[in-house]
């Protein structure tokens, strides 16, 4: 894996489901930490106080928990060193934390709601759950408790991106003020829990609003509700121009563009009659583009992609509010990306 080989900078830690240690099986604990070592050795593995973070998903099912947790730490110490052990806090606000066994916990109390409505048909209001979540943020405890941002579970009936934005802002402010104790971490539930309608990725109702509002709350950027109405987006005039010098890369480029949740017109420039025929056959026979309409022109490759872009779009640019220019490119150079905010 590229993450393990440190080719991709993507911090991570592992959550142990721990069903297999309920019977105090020492061999399974040793097996787990033996297999964990290759992950711990990665530069990407998250550590707190120089200790790798490991979560037990189901601490409540462990019999003789004090003994087993002590045993886990001893075995881990002999194989990978000291560990920072955490667990998902799923109990009520008044429930005691496992102070003597774990180094910390992260809020996972959403499942309380599932149990509350098991025998009742009512739907939980998202705004009400936000309030409950913020109440928990006021807890003053001598314990590392990581906060969790919740999205649009299927049990909520009034989720809006703005509510998610407000919740994140409050949680980020708290974590900024308490980052010595809480190490600056928060959890998001979740990236792709499609079964429960709970995910940061694109959806038909709000587009990319969830991940976008999360980023804006993190970077302290003002919320604008008009940005998350798909009717507003689809009524905006958009053109995409692609200069196709390497026609072999057209398939990959079009596939990426097709993931955009907007209507657009497509303009393609290329450098020869043969390439134009190839592109036409690709688009017309295979129907590979989601564009409203498309146009293909041949131009000299002056300034690489710059001249074709200027020539083709000079009589069109006034029609559109936004124009995106792309070009197929092959390069042996190392790419360094800098983002300035």
pLDDT per residue as tens digits for the range 252-263: 888 888 877 678
CA Rg, the chain, in Å? 26
Assign domain 14-230 to its CATH architecture: Alpha-Beta Barrel (3.20)
Q: Is the pLDDT of residue 312 over 90?
A: yes
Band of residue 83 on the pLDDT scale cut at 50, 70, 90: very high
CB of 156 closer than 8 Å to CB of 126: yes
Q: Checking DSSP bridges between strand 47-48 and strand 51-56, what pairing results, if any?
A: antiparallel
- What is the 3-state composition of the chain as percent helix, strand, coil, each rounded to the nearest 5? 40, 20, 40
Chain-wide mean pLDDT for the chain?
Answer: 80
Shortest CA distance to 289 belongs to which of 315, 266, 323? 266
pLDDT tier for residue 195 given thresholds of 50, 70 and 90: confident
Looking only at the bridges linking them, the beta strands covering 51-56 and 84-89 are parallel
Tell me the whole-structure pTM to 2 decimals.
0.64
What does the pLDDT read at residue 197? 76
Contact 208, 261 (CB under 8 A): yes
Q: How many helices (H) and strands (E) does the chain have?
A: 11, 13
Residue 323: which H helix or E strand, with range? strand 322-327
Distance from C-alpha of 110 to C-alpha of 148, rounded to nearest angstrom? 10
Q: Can you give the residue ranges of every domain in the chain? A: 14-230, 236-327
């Amino acid at each position: 894996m590229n993450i393990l080989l440190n080719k991709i900078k993507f911090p991570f830690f592992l959550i142990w489901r721990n069903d297999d240690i309920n019977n105090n099986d020492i061999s399974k604990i040793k097996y787990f930490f033996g297999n964990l070592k290759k992950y711990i050795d990665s530069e990407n593995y998250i550590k707190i106080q120089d200790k790798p973070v490991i979560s037990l998903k189901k601490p409540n099912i462990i019999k003789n928990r004090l003994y087993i947790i002590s045993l886990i730490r001893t075995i881990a110490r002999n194989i990978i060193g000291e560990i920072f052990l955490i667990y998902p806090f799923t109990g009520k606000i008044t429930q005691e934390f496992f102070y003597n066994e774990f180094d910390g916990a992260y809020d996972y109390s959403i499942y309380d709601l599932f149990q509350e409505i098991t025998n009742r048909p009512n739907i939980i209001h998202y705004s009400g759950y936000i309030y409950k979540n913020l109440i928990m943020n006021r807890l003053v405890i001598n314990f590392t408790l990581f906060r969790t941002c919740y999205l649009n579970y299927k049990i909520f009936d009034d989720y809006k991106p703005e509510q998610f934005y407000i919740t994140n802002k409050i949680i980020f402010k708290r974590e900024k003020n308490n980052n010595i104790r809480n190490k600056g971490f928060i959890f998001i539930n979740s990236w792709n829990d499609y079964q429960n309608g709970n995910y940061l990725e694109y959806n038909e109702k709000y587009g990319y609003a969830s991940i976008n509002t999360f980023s804006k709350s993190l970077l302290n950027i003002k919320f604008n509700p008009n940005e998350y109405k798909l009717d507003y987006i689809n009524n905006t005039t958009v053109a995409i121009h692609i200069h196709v010098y390497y026609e072999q890369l057209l398939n990959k480029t079009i596939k990426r563009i097709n993931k955009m949740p907007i209507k657009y017109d497509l303009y393609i420039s290329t450098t020869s009659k043969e390439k134009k025929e190839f592109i036409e056959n690709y688009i017309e026979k295979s129907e590979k583009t989601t564009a409203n309409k498309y146009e293909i022109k041949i131009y000299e490759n002056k300034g690489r992609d710059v001249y074709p872009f200027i020539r083709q779009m000079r009589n069109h640019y006034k029609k559109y509010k936004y124009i995106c220019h792309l070009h197929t490119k092959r390069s042996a150079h190392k790419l360094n990306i800098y983002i300035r905010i």
